[in-house]
Amino acid sequence: MNIVLTGASSGVGFEAALEFTLQTENKVVCIARSADKLRKLLEIAKGINPDCTLLPVEFDIVNDDYNALVPFLEQRLGTVDILINNAGTLINKSIAETSAADLNEMFQSNVTGHFNMIKNLLPLMHSGSHIVNIGSMGGFQGSVKFPGLAAYSASKGALHTLTECLAFELAETGIKVNCLALGSAQTEMLEKAFPGYQSPVMAFEMGKYIADFARTGHKFFNGKIIPVAVTTP
């Protein structure tokens, strides 16, 4: 399979990338802004499976030029079977401390960047391709909410709605779009949101779940926001 994964330099994205590289036939393009972390990912992946194909790409999904990225993907992959939109960031501030710039940063990182990826990679996708957006229980309607995360949760709620709309719009193409609303997993982002909290779910466990869902979830779901949470946080 040909897989494109954003936010691959740390956390569940890093672990999902490693899971995909266990199968030698997969070609995995790993996108992140940190070249150093991508090099570490490649080193670990090659250590586990020397025959794997992992292509690290230093790229900012909000600001960089897709006219360079798309031809590279077309040349190296041809088509895209799976797109996992995992990149994102988090601001933990009270509403009184949150600025308009903070809110804009959340929406740029957690919504606009994914919109950019989907729009630009659609020509490389086909019937049976699967787009997986990584959302959050923070943006899941009816879930417990927490102080300091209003801007982050609002951006994830927007990503959830984007998922539902795109699944409907793309239905005739055979491209499926789903969103995993993640609860806690032990990552740097969790520590930023809930300092000192220890999740019962490790990053590698959530990464494996994401990879497994990306491979098979489109056979059972389309346009769904699926909560993946043992605990919230």
Domain ranges within the chain, ordered by starting residue: 2-228
Q: What string of pLDDT tens digits covers the 233 residues of the chain?
A: 999 999 999 889 999 999 999 999 999 999 999 999 999 999 999 999 999 999 999 999 999 999 999 999 999 999 999 999 999 999 999 999 999 999 999 999 999 999 999 999 999 999 999 999 999 988 898 888 888 999 999 999 999 999 999 999 999 999 999 999 998 665 565 565 567 766 667 678 999 999 999 999 999 999 999 999 876 65
Residue 106 contacts by C-beta under 8 Å, 6 or more apart in sequence?
Answer: 89, 90, 91, 151, 152, 154, 155
Q: Dihedral, CA atoms, 49, 50, 55, 58, nearest 10 degrees?
A: 90
Q: Tell me how many degrees the CA angle 183-188-189 measures, rounded to the nearest 5.
A: 50
Residue 128 contacts by C-beta under 8 Å, 6 or more apart in sequence?
Answer: 81, 174, 175, 176, 218
Residues 153, 199 contacting (CB under 8 angstroms): no
Find the catalytic residue in 66, 152, 197, 209. Answer: 152
The CATH code of domain 2-228 reads 3.40.50.720
Annotated active-site residue 197? The verdict is no
Residue 16 in tokens: 């999902």
Q: Which helix (H) or strand (E) holds 138?
A: none
